[in-house]
Structure 1
């Protein structure tokens, strides 16, 4: 962490807090009304089915890690 000449940490400038409506307007978001809407937004996050399977297995294991 970087420190200032006064010895305290250098913090990033504060961003103004926006309301949910302002955030939605800023990204031109629209509500999801149908499954077709989801299909239009689909992107390939994982490069392969194997990569997706590894992620799901990891997530499943982590969620149950502390369950006795």
Structure 2
């Protein structure tokens, strides 16, 4: 266990681990290009995209009324 962890007074029984330490433990590396984040196969059709956007917009308007 790393010595970078420290007790979190707001949540007894838990420890705070800095983000850079968590990234090191998980083997996460910095994003060097937006291409690394691209997921062209995420939405399979125009209809699926329309349903997603309609749901997104509805959820954003939900708390406004």
TM-score for the superposition, normalised by structure 2: 0.54
2:21 maps to 22
Matched, 1:38 2:34: yes
The structure that has the greater radius of gyration is 1
C-alpha RMSD of matched pairs (Å): 2.5
> Are residue 53 (structure 1) and residue 34 (structure 2) matched?
no
Give the match's secondary structure for 1:45: coil
TM-score (norm 1): 0.53
**Equivalences, count:** 51
The Cα of 1:41 is off from its aligned counterpart by 2.6
Q: Which runs of 4+ in 1 moved over 6 A?
A: none
SS of match in other structure, 2:63: coil
Give the number of the structure whose residues are more often strand, by fraction: 2
Unaligned runs of 5+ in 2: 1-14
Counterpart Cα distance in 2 of 1:21 and 1:39: 23
